[in-house]
Structure 1
């Protein structure tokens, strides 16, 4: 088995990032679509000022997540065939990370909006905090904890765009 070249590694890293972004994009687009239709539903007129503020935060965070998660496609179009795959991979990595952060804000805000509408506010805050911790557990705490568990798959070290720039 031959070792991959640096160019092949960058290409593989970009393909892996795009696949990850496809998964995230689906989730954020569904949430964004839901939020876009919400003000046109009958019950929305019964929302409090607080709920409308939370709605705006959720909507804007979902829009920001959508923009960041889709941005590597536009960046790729602008840099197509210029041999700048390392720059593209680093950019896509940063946009994916930022997009996930905005997606977290959108998800927790949406949970807060809905739970505040149907439950007492203190319960809504608790459920929203638990939701935020749940997402952080699976999106941040466990993945970063996994980094120190050992060297099971040595190839994973090559997939981190930040490591590639240092090496």
Structure 2
């Protein structure tokens, strides 16, 4: 058993590592969502957009709103970290940032699905566009949420395992 000061130091080191890993994951996702957001914004300024029907315009607007929400959720953890920096609130920042990251990924999945639906409607139209959108929703939902949450439910990794891993580092 570790003395209290070492155990606390280990806990603090683990929190710092968790926060750094989370922020790094968000940096990767942010680049993609920001590129997608820029692409979606540029569509409204094309000549073909002026003649787009209501379905395309509504899909475009909803998709942009979800992309914007994704940007908001994925950048919020950096703001939380900066505002609460050196206030002894790292654990709170990690908890909130984790929730925001998941919400941001959910919004990104909807935005990606909307983008595929939008492009499908422009390129092939009709039910095939809807099928492409449904496939995208199923793919993102399965890979990003269903499978990880299924694994999470198995509960094979505990905080004690992570503490042991910290002692080995």
TM-score (norm 1): 0.85
**DSSP 3-state at the match of 1:81:** coil
State the shift of 1:8 in Å: 1.1
Q: Which residue in the other structure is 2:130 paired with?
A: 125
Q: Distance in 2 between matches of 1:102 and 1:158?
A: 30
Displacement of 1:120: 2.6
Aligned CA-pair RMSD: 2.2
For structure 2, the 5+ residue unaligned runs are 1-5, 164-169
Q: Alpha-carbon deviation of 1:26? A: 1.2
Residue in 1 that maps onto 2:82: 77
Is it true that 1:19 corresponds to 2:20 in the alignment?
Answer: no
2:39 aligns to what? 34
Gaps of 5+ in 1: 160-167
Matches of 1:112 and 1:53 in 2, distance apart? 11
Q: Which 4+ residue blocks in structure 1 deviate beyond 2 angstroms? A: 144-151, 153-159
Give 1:97's aligned residue. Answer: 102
Distance in 1 (alpha carbons) for counterparts of 2:155 and 2:105: 26
Tell me, in whole angstroms, the C-alpha distance in 1 between the residues paired with 2:57 and 2:153: 42
Question: In structure 1, the residue corresponding to 2:44 is in which secondary structure?
Answer: helix
Match of 1:141 among 141, 146, 149: 146
Q: 1:13 to 1:100 in 2, by over 3 A?
A: same
**Which structure would you say has the larger Rg?**
2
CA distance in 2, matches of 1:98, 1:137: 15
| CA distance in 2 between partners of 1:47 and 1:56 (Å) | 12
1:165 is matched with none
Cα distance in structure 1, aligned partners of 2:86 and 2:15: 14
Alignment partners' CA distance in 1, 2:118 and 2:12: 46
TM norm structure 2: 0.84
